[in-house]
Amino acid sequence: MADEKKTILVVDDDPFIANIICEALISDGYKIEKAVDGEEALAKIEKLVPDLVIMDYMMPKMDGPQVCLKVKENDKIKHVPIIMVTAVADVKEKVQLLESGAEDYIVKPFDLEELLARVKVVLRRANQLRTDVNGITKLPGNTAIAKEIDLRIKSGEKFAFCYADLGNFKAFNDRYGFESGNRVINELAKLMRRVVEDADIQNCFLGHIGGDDFIAIMPAGYAEHFCLELINRFDIFIGSMYDPADSKKGYILAKNRQGELMRFPIMRLRIAVVSNQKRNLVSLGQISSIAAELKEKAKLKDMSNYVKDERRD
């Protein structure tokens, strides 16, 4: 039997084939949702975030590979695995399916037992990948971040690595509790997603290292706009997370690491930007070291700000 309440979205404009697939999945213990074309499929994936999508290659309005590419570009749903159903056994088409981001494919006519076996394998693989997703923000964690950096370096593209963290977060956590702290972390992740979406930043990877540490990796030309917009939106939002009296004062009283009571200003967002526009970047360790230096510079300013590495090789 399938894992408890795994939801699978079946996308096919042929009701006969869709019903056959759905009946087999229901018999094997899965929860089913349906869509009849590419546009409906994309809308339902964004709304439901299913555990798996089984999608026909040829569909009205938007074909399978087009939907797949849209899914993999969306940070909120890029982790959703897709099995593509195709009527063509052509090698070039299979390559196109995998290049669009599909985790697997099956060729018509197919055996239902084979389909169910592929479903179990893809779900198991997806579950293993989700262990590297932060439980609060649902953003990729350290393993995925390291892989992404390695891919960008090997690609030779000009990219920016933006390392963001929060000043005075610990004091806020101590004053208001971990639940409030988690709300701030989750809202910051949402703000990052919105900035990327609103600015239509292509090929952007967002990750959550842990605690109040986040990263954004994107084509170098987008970095300045991303930082300025994120800082602006954060500064507008963060005051609402404090009690009105504390927000009005602009600080809270909390104990420092030595146990002494002192004033801690409203949280600040600090971003270190490391880019290979002017220097050669060769490893995660090198990038992390540069980012750590830049973060120390950002801490010197009592305001939300970003610092960009301008050094050359």
- What DSSP letter does each residue of 111-136 carry, written as one string? -HHHHHHHHHHHHHHHHHHHTTB-TT
Of 3.40.50.2300, 1.10.10.60, 3.40.720.10, 3.40.50.10190, which CATH number belongs to 7-130?
3.40.50.2300
Question: Quick one: pLDDT band at residue 124, thresholds 50, 70, 90?
Answer: confident
For the ranges 13-17, 31-35, 71-75, which has the lowest average pLDDT? 71-75
Q: What b/e sequence results for 128-137 when a residue is b if at least 16 CB atoms lie within 10 Å of its CB, and e otherwise?
A: eeeeebbeeb
DSSP 303: S
Name which of 223, 199, 210, 112 is nearest 165 in CA terms: 210
Question: pLDDT at position 103, please?
Answer: 85
| Residue ranges of the chain assigned to CATH 3.40.50.2300 | 7-130
Range with the largest mean pLDDT of 10-19, 121-130, 143-152: 10-19
Question: pLDDT at position 3, please?
Answer: 47
Residue partners of 80: CB distance under 8 A and separation at least 6? 45, 49, 50, 51, 52, 53, 71
CATH for 142-308 is 3.30.70.270
- Higher per-residue confidence, 134 vs 128: 134
Name which of 271, 258, 289 is nearest 225 in CA terms: 271
167-219 pLDDT tens trace: 999 999 999 999 999 999 999 999 999 999 899 898 899 999 999 999 999 99
214-248 pLDDT tens trace: 999 999 999 999 999 999 999 999 999 999 999 99
- First-to-last alpha carbon distance for the chain, in angstroms, is 58
Find tokens 């605690």 and name the residue. Answer: 211
61-110 pLDDT tens trace: 888 889 998 998 887 788 899 999 988 666 666 666 777 788 888 888 88
| Residue ranges of the chain assigned to CATH 3.30.70.270 | 142-308
Provide mean pLDDT across the span 48-63: 91
Mean pLDDT computed over every residue of the chain: 90
d(CA 95, CA 82): 15
Provide mean pLDDT across the span 285-299: 94
Q: What b/e sequence results for 52-82 when a residue is b if at least 16 CB atoms lie within 10 Å of its CB, and e otherwise?
A: bbbbbbebeebbbbebbebbbebbbbebbbb
Could you give the C-alpha distances from 174 to 57, 287, 299, in angstroms and in order?
Answer: 52, 31, 20
Question: pLDDT at position 74, please?
Answer: 81
Could you give the C-alpha distances from 228 to 132, 134, 164, 187, 303, in angstroms and in order?
Answer: 29, 25, 12, 17, 13
d(CA 150, CA 137): 23
Question: pLDDT at position 1, please?
Answer: 44
Could you give the C-alpha distances from 46 to 27, 53, 67, 73, in angstroms and in order?
Answer: 26, 12, 11, 12
Percent above pLDDT 70 for the chain: 94
Instruction: Check pLDDT > 80 for residue 260.
Output: yes
Question: pLDDT at position 90, please?
Answer: 63
Question: pLDDT at position 129, please?
Answer: 64
